[in-house]
Amino acid sequence: MSTAAVHSLWTTASDPIAKIGAPKIEYGQLSPTLIVVGAAVVGVLVEAFVPRKSRYYAQVFVAVVALCAAFAAVVALAADGYGTTKARIAAMGAIAVDGPALFLQGTILLAGLVALFTFAERRLDPAAHGNRVDSFAAQAASVPGSDSEKAAVKAGFTTTEVFPLLLFAIAGMLIFPAANDLLTLFVALEVFSLPLYLMCALARRKRLMSQEAAVKYFLLGAFASAFTLFGIALLYGYAGSVSYGTIAQVVEGTIPNVDPALADTMGNDALLLIGAALVVMGLLFKVGAIPFHMWTPDVYQGAPTPVTGFMAAATKVAAFGALLRLLYVILPGLRWDWRPVMWAVAIITMLGGAIVAITQTDIKRLLAYSSIAHAGFILAGVIATSKDGVSSVLFYLAGYSFVTIGAFAVVTLVRDAGGEATHLSKWAGLGRRSPLVAAVFAVFLLAFAGIPLTSGFAGKFAVFKAAAEGGAAPLVVIGVISSAIAAFFYIRVIVLMFFSEPRPEGPTVAVPSPLTMAAIAVGVAVTLVLGVAPQYFLDLASQAGVFVR
Amino acid sequence: MENLIALLIAAPLLGAALLLTGGRRLDSVGHWIGTLLSATSFVFGVILFADLLGKDAEHRTLTQHLYTWVPVESFQADVTFRLDQLSMTFVLLITGVGSLIHLYSVGYMEHDERRRRFFGYLNLFLAAMLLLVLADNYLLLYVGWEGVGLASYLLIGFWQHKPSAATAAKKAFLVNRVGDMGLSIAIMLMFTTFGTFAFGPVLGSVGDASEGKLTAIGLMLLLAACGKSAQVPLQSWLGDAMEGPTPVSALIHAATMVTAGVYLIVRSGAIFNAAPDAQLVVTVVGAVTLLFGAIVGCAKDDIKKALAGSTMSQIGYMILAAGLGPIGYVFAIMHLVTHGFFKAGLFLGAGSVMHGMNDEVDMRKYGGLRTYMPITFVTFGLGYLAIIGFPFLSGFYSKDAIIEAAFAKGGTQGWILGGVALLGAAITAFYMTRVMLMTFFGEKRWQPDENGNEPHPHESPSVMTIPMIVLAVGSVGAGFFFHLGDRFLNWLEPVTGHEEGNSPVGAGAITAATLVLLVVGAGIAYLQYGRKPVPVTAPRGSLLARAARRDLLQDDFNHVVLVRGGEHLTRSLVYVDHTLVDGVVNGTAASFGGLSGRLRRLQNGFARSYAVSMFGGAALLVAATLLMRAV
Q: Name the residue facing A298 among B596, B605, B622 (closest C-beta).
A: B605
- What mean pLDDT is predicted for residues A106-122? 94
Closest approach of chain A CAs to the CA of B570, in angstroms? 24
Q: Hey, are the CB atoms on A276 and B616 less than 8 Å from each other?
A: no
User: Using CA atoms, how far apart are residues A59 and B298, in angstroms rounded to an integer?
Assistant: 78
In tens, the pLDDT along B403-453 reads 988 888 878 888 899 899 999 999 999 999 998 988 888 888 877 777 767
Secondary element (H or E) of residue B75: strand B75-83
DSSP state of A91: T
User: Using CA atoms, how far apart are residues A515 and A536, in angstroms rounded to an integer?
Assistant: 28
Compare all CA atoms of chain B with the CA of A356 and give the residue at the minimum distance. B596
pLDDT at A83 over 80: yes
Residue spans of alpha helices (H) in B234-302? 237-240, 246-250, 258-267, 269-273, 276-299
Contact A418, A360 (CB under 8 A): no
Which residues of chain A lie closer than 8 angstroms to B593, CB-CB? 358-359
pLDDT of residue A17: 64
Contact B371, B426 (CB under 8 A): no
pLDDT at B533 over 80: no
Q: Name the residue facing A285 among B593, B600, B614 (closest C-beta).
A: B614
User: Using CA atoms, how far apart are residues A284 and A278, in angstroms rounded to an integer?
Assistant: 10
pLDDT of residue A16: 59
User: Using CA atoms, how far apart are residues A408 and A363, in angstroms rounded to an integer?
Assistant: 9
- What mean pLDDT is predicted for residues B10-25? 88
**Average of per-residue pLDDT values in chain B:** 87
Compare all CA atoms of chain A with the CA of B590 and give the residue at the minimum distance. A358
pLDDT of residue A2: 46
pLDDT > 70 fraction of chain A, expressed in percent and rounded: 96
Q: Name the residue facing B603 among A273, A297, A336 (closest C-beta).
A: A297
3-state secondary structure of A89: strand
pLDDT of residue A228: 95
Test the B interface: residue of A356, A440, A460 with most B CBs within 10 Å? A356
Give me the phi and psi of B438, to 5 degrees please.
-65, -30
Ordered strands of the A419-420 beta sheet: A419-420, A414-416, A508-509
Q: Which one is predicted more confidently, A105 or B235?
A: A105
Contact B467, B348 (CB under 8 A): yes
- What mean pLDDT is predicted for residues A418-443? 89
Which residues of chain A lie closer than 8 angstroms to B616, CB-CB? 291
**Average of per-residue pLDDT values in chain A:** 89
Distance of alpha carbon B522 from its chain centroid, rounded? 29
User: Using CA atoms, how far apart are residues B305 and B342, in angstroms rounded to an integer?
Assistant: 16
pLDDT band (50, 70, 90) for residue A232: very high
In tens, the pLDDT along B312-344 reads 999 999 999 999 988 889 999 999 999 999 898
Compare all CA atoms of chain A with the CA of B599 and give the residue at the minimum distance. A356
Q: Name the residue facing B613 among A294, A298, A358 (closest C-beta).
A: A294
pLDDT of residue A254: 81
User: Using CA atoms, how far apart are residues A404 and A311, in angstroms rounded to an integer?
Assistant: 10
User: Using CA atoms, how far apart are residues B200 and B88, in angstroms rounded to an integer?
Assistant: 17
Partners of A89 in the β-ladder: A96
A316-344 in b/e form (b: 16+ CB < 10 A) is bbbbbbbbbbbbbbbbebbeebbbebbbe
Q: Which one is predicted more confidently, A284 or B360?
A: A284
pLDDT at A267 over 80: no
Contact partners, residue A454, CB within 8 Å, separation at least 6: A403, A443, A446, A447, A527, A528, A530, A531
Q: Hey, are the CB atoms on B67 and A215 less than 8 Å from each other?
A: no
Most confident of A36-40, B406-410, B600-604, B611-615: A36-40
pLDDT at A479 over 90: yes
Most confident of B38-47, B538-547, B577-586: B38-47
pLDDT at A129 over 60: yes
Residue in B293, B258, B310, B13 with CA at minimum distance from that of residue B149 = B258
Q: Does B616 touch chain A (CB under 8 A)?
A: yes
End-to-end CA separation in angstroms for chain A: 35
pLDDT of residue A86: 87
In tens, the pLDDT along B26-72 reads 888 888 999 999 999 999 999 999 998 888 878 888 888 888 877 77
Q: Name the residue facing A356 among B72, B596, B625 (closest C-beta).
A: B596
Distance of alpha carbon B592 from its chain centroid, rounded? 47
The secondary structure of A233-244 as a DSSP string is HHHHHHHS--BH
Q: Name the residue facing A291 among B72, B595, B616 (closest C-beta).
A: B616
Closest approach of chain A CAs to the CA of B592, in angstroms? 6
Window 30-69 of B, Cβ < 8 Å to A:
67-69
Q: Which one is predicted more confidently, A311 or B583?
A: A311
Q: Does B629 touch chain A (CB under 8 A)?
A: yes
3-state secondary structure of B302: strand
- What mean pLDDT is predicted for residues B180-205? 89
Closest approach of chain A CAs to the CA of B164, in angstroms? 26
pLDDT of residue A256: 63
Which residues of chain A lie closer than 8 angstroms to B628, CB-CB? 336-338, 340-341
- What mean pLDDT is predicted for residues B303-312? 89
Q: What is the pTM of this model?
A: 0.74
Contact B202, B190 (CB under 8 A): yes
Which residues of chain A lie closer than 8 angstroms to B605, CB-CB? 298
pLDDT of residue B72: 72
pLDDT of residue A125: 81
DSSP state of A29: T
Of A81-85, A174-178, B276-280, the poorest mean pLDDT is in A81-85
3-state SS string for B344-413: HHHHHHHHHHHHHCCCCCEHHHCCCHHHCCHHHHHHHHHHHHHHHCCCCCHHHHHHHHHHHHHHHCCHHH
pLDDT at A322 over 90: yes
User: Using CA atoms, how far apart are residues B573 and B579, in angstroms rounded to an integer?
Assistant: 10
pLDDT band (50, 70, 90) for residue A3: very low
Distance of alpha carbon A541 from its chain centroid, rounded? 18
Report the relative pairing of strands A414-416 and A508-509 from DSSP bridges.
antiparallel
Residue in B242, B369, B236, B357 with CA at minimum distance from that of residue B302 = B242
User: Using CA atoms, how far apart are residues B596 and A354, in angstroms rounded to an integer?
Assistant: 9
Most confident of A262-266, A322-326, A413-417: A322-326
Residue B319, judged by CB atoms within 10 A of its CB (0-12, 13-18, 19+), counts as buried
- What mean pLDDT is predicted for residues A180-185? 94
Q: Does B72 touch chain A (CB under 8 A)?
A: yes
Compare all CA atoms of chain A with the CA of B617 and give the residue at the minimum distance. A291
